[in-house]
Structure 1
Amino acid sequence: MRAPIRIRISGAASSAIAATIAAAVLLVTAGCAQMAPGLPDGTDAIVAAPQSGDPAHPQLTPQAQVAGIGPEEGAGVVVSPAAPSLVPTPVQQIPADLGVNLYWHTIGTPAVVDATAGRLLNYVVGLGANSVAIAFPIFTDGVHPTRVYGKPDITPSPEALGRVIAAAKARGLRVMVRPLLDEANLLPSGGWRGSIAPPNVDAWFASYRSFLDPYFAVAKTQHAEEFVVATELDSFIGDSAQWRQVVADGQARFGGLITYASTWNTWDHAHVPSPVPDVGVDAYPPVHLGDSATVDQLSAAWTSWLKSRPASVLSQTAIQELGIPAQSGVYANPGSWGSANAAIEPQIQVNWFAAACQSARALHMRGLYFWMLDSNADPSNASNYPSGSFIGRGDSAIKTCFSQGWSHS
């Protein structure tokens, strides 16, 4: 991509000028190789598991089983979950889903899972959220894969995920369940989750459905509200028969709201799997504005992009991922997740979050979820976290966003 164009507008500029500039600076390129990273990659990615002996974080133990077999066991530190912080009734009653993504890859005993979930979900409640998206990694191999599976050291079992869902529900949070196809096994072969091409599509989907089934069941048992059946699987958009089977499984085993998370550019062009009843979007629209852009200028660009879909669609759409690294020059590529060597610039992230929130609220969208809170993170300490983290940075804007007046038509 070309370098960002720095544009300054007088504070007295009219809304008409702002809208015109928004349309001019927004870049949405259908063939762009950089897609929205449902799971960030490289050095600026997830938080490593805590080390043994850290008194603030009990040692995590290997998970013995994945997908349909009993809960984790092993010699772990026995700890008690934090006392629940409850979502206030007025916040629960807000129609829009106001949430964050909790990326869950913490593996340990039930006591460790409960304690970790309690600590992090209390932080989520403290932001003013009424919802949480519980994302977790799943795997397939290469750009021509044959199966879908979980890794025992990173993918939570259905039982463990159920404990996290239960902890969220106990706090009054709505729950979205989001299995995410991890790209660790795809990037070396030059692929990403939206480019995979199995030699046998039916067989791949059969494996995918088999993997999802116990997660559908635990989502129902623990009363989750929403299940995202796939995220950013662009190469499968036209496979209607296979998606109908996935949706049928979800309706039979889960029964709640079933959605699909579109990439920002396919959503913009209305290219989504037609059998999935509701679609969300992982929103990383490139905007060619410089670091000095105001919240209003950024919001005008967001609004211009979002309004490429009609109001009837927007009112049913949740932004399932909203994130950006807190670094200079990233408005032109918010899905890049930054650099481990660049300075942290919190205001970049704060302004982006505030602008997206302003647009989503004005357009009466169904909700928005900020990306992401890592399950190995400690919200009480913002130091040494990747630039994509919002802890101690954009979380101030998240709290302000959630506290503003929301309506949903």
Structure 2
Amino acid sequence: MRSRLPLLAIFPVTVLTLVLGAPFVVGNHPVRWDSGSVLPRVVIGDSKDSPTPSTDGTGKAPASSSSGSPSTSTKALEVAKPWKQGMAQWGVQLYWEEESPLRSDAFIEKQARKHAKYLVGLGANSVSLSFPYYIKNSTADVLSTGAKTPSPERLQKVLKIFKDAGFRTTLRPIMDEKTLKQSNGWRGNIDPASRSAWFASYEKLITPYLEAAEKAKANTFVIGTELNSLEGDVGWDKVVASAEKTFSGEISYDANWDNYVTRRINMPVNHLGVDAYFPIKVPDTAPVEDLVTGWNKWLDKKATGPLPNILVSETGIGAMNGAYHAPGDFYVKRAVNPQVQANWYRAVCEVVQDRKMQGIYWWSLWFDDDPNTKPDDKVASRLDFAGRPLSEKAIKSCFTSDYAGPGTTTAS
């Protein structure tokens, strides 16, 4: 039976006087340049080991893997170790905006299989499919889909492809921020003129997507993402109750990292993810252990020791100089530094394992992109990891590690 979790009250809470006064308590979310948060914000090998060649410079993925997992050429759509309850979630956020003119169903199915094959090569067992919805301005109480919002039917097709390949699947609506940028806005500080109208509009908007998630047998539906200003509102009770009647899987909420460390996340769900972009003041040459220390200092502000009920629902960092100081900075394109990104990935993986967390979802893959090609750093986000051999090697090392997950001893 669902209870209103004092979602983070199950851990000892540290008083955060310094954090509450810090200038970074504005949220951050690195969606593409034309739909992300206003930034800057202070918020936060060889072919055997990597799914892309590290020496030929083409960025093309090999036809097969020589690791112990099944070859991606002969078993392209089969997860080596399908996720089961209690296992770690090793995943990626796959962000989908529809292109104009609209791509055919055949194209999206082919594209989904291409991403599935790539993720199998990385050793992933989970995928979260994020998609945008829209708001007119920060005080609006009407929400809507748009031309770039995939239909429930098309999302269902893609979810099914991943499900059939053995992936744990999540569907995650996320508020697009283009209309909020003019007022220096962010989804985490919207202030609807009528909250009751906002929640009624939101329930109406997401219901068809909950139905699609149910038909595709998705594991999780994220009821909200980084909506700091609305957390704890009684309006969520009706939205979640309605969602649970429609969708039989897990209903979760993804909190932004600043709220996670500064307050109790009071939402009527049983599962919590954290979108984690903790800034760490270290030089680009910092070793992995310094990054681990930095992450642990942040997490210790909430609770010390194991965090078996917490999932890193989204994290990433730019492959560039200076990124440790603002990991979620999507817009700035400083000098490319792949080692910065790779070391960050290794550090986060180590923290998740040491603290027995539920897993990681890396931000991100863009649905219409080819993950097997090297990113064009003149236009691509520095947060892109596909086609960066050092980063792919770090991810694969994490996803194929011996860490089974926080609940494997009782897994069914």
Give 3-state SS (helix, strand or coil) of 2:323's partner: coil
1:130 aligns with 2:125: yes
Shift of 1:280: 0.8
1:109 aligns with 2:107: no
Shift of 1:110: 1.3
2:88 corresponding residue in structure 1:
96
2:62 corresponding residue in structure 1:
none
Give 3-state SS (helix, strand or coil) of 1:186's partner: helix
Shift of 1:308: 3.0
Q: 1:44 to 1:294 in 2, by over 3 A?
A: farther
Partners of 2:242 and 2:166 lie apart in 1 by 27
Partners of 1:90 and 1:181 lie apart in 2 by 30
Partners of 1:27 and 1:278 lie apart in 2 by 25
1:73 corresponding residue in structure 2:
none
2:312 corresponding residue in structure 1:
319
Partners of 2:247 and 2:193 lie apart in 1 by 29
1:290 corresponding residue in structure 2:
283
2:255 corresponding residue in structure 1:
262
Shift of 1:269: 2.1
Partners of 2:294 and 2:213 lie apart in 1 by 36
Q: 1:144 to 1:90 in 2, by over 3 A?
A: closer
Give 3-state SS (helix, strand or coil) of 2:395's partner: helix
1:165 aligns with 2:159: yes
Map 1:16-165 to 2 at 5 A. Answer: 31-32=23-24, 34-42=26-34, 84-89=76-81, 95-106=87-98, 107-152=102-147, 154-165=148-159
Q: Quick one: which amino acid aligns to residue 183 of structure 2?
A: S
Contact kept in structure 2, 1:27 and 1:286, CA below 8 Å: no
Bigger relative CO (Cα 8 Å, ≥ 6 apart):
2
Q: Quick one: which amino acid aligns to residue 279 of structure 2?
A: P
Shift of 1:270: 3.3
Shift of 1:283: 0.1
Partners of 1:334 and 1:205 lie apart in 2 by 32
Q: 1:383 to 1:274 in 2, by over 3 A?
A: closer
2:323 corresponding residue in structure 1:
330
Q: Quick one: which amino acid aligns to residue 194 of structure 1?
A: G
Query: CA offsets per residue over residues 367-407 of structure 1, 9 Å max, x none?
Result: 11000000121112113132110112222211111011113
Partners of 1:378 and 1:186 lie apart in 2 by 30
2:406 corresponding residue in structure 1:
408
Structure 2 residue runs of 5 or longer lacking an equivalent are 1-17, 38-73, 408-412
Q: Quick one: which amino acid aligns to residue 193 of structure 1?
A: R
Give 3-state SS (helix, strand or coil) of 1:139's partner: strand
Contact kept in structure 2, 1:291 and 1:348, CA below 8 Å: yes
Contact kept in structure 2, 1:243 and 1:275, CA below 8 Å: yes
1:67 corresponding residue in structure 2:
none
Shift of 1:306: 2.0
Shift of 1:34: 4.7
The two structures have a TM-score, normalised by structure 1, of 0.79
Q: Quick one: which amino acid aligns to residue 318 of structure 1?
A: L
The two structures have a TM-score, normalised by structure 2, of 0.79
Shift of 1:35: 2.2
2:188 corresponding residue in structure 1:
194
Partners of 1:43 and 1:248 lie apart in 2 by 30
Map 1:233-248 to 2 at 5 A. Answer: 233-239=227-233, 241-248=234-241
Shift of 1:359: 0.3
1:214 aligns with 2:208: yes
User: What is the root-mean-square deviation of aligned Cα atoms in Å?
Assistant: 2.4
1:375 corresponding residue in structure 2:
367
Contact kept in structure 2, 1:298 and 1:355, CA below 8 Å: yes
Shift of 1:42: 4.8
1:177 aligns with 2:174: no
Contact kept in structure 2, 1:166 and 1:222, CA below 8 Å: yes
Partners of 1:317 and 1:352 lie apart in 2 by 19
Contact kept in structure 2, 1:330 and 1:338, CA below 8 Å: no
Q: 1:381 to 1:176 in 2, by over 3 A?
A: same
1:362 aligns with 2:354: yes
Contact kept in structure 2, 1:135 and 1:180, CA below 8 Å: yes
Contact kept in structure 2, 1:36 and 1:335, CA below 8 Å: yes
Identity rate of aligned residues, in percent?
Answer: 35
Give 3-state SS (helix, strand or coil) of 2:325's partner: coil
Q: Quick one: which amino acid aligns to residue 184 of structure 1?
A: K
Q: Quick one: which amino acid aligns to residue 97 of structure 1?
A: Q
Structure 1 residue runs of 5 or longer lacking an equivalent are 1-25, 46-81
Shift of 1:84: 4.4
Q: 1:118 to 1:104 in 2, by over 3 A?
A: same
2:381 corresponding residue in structure 1:
386
Partners of 2:149 and 2:304 lie apart in 1 by 37
Query: CA offsets per residue over residues 57-106 of structure 1, 9 Å max, x none?
Result: xxxxxxxxxxxxxxxxxxxxxxxxx9842001377687011100000124
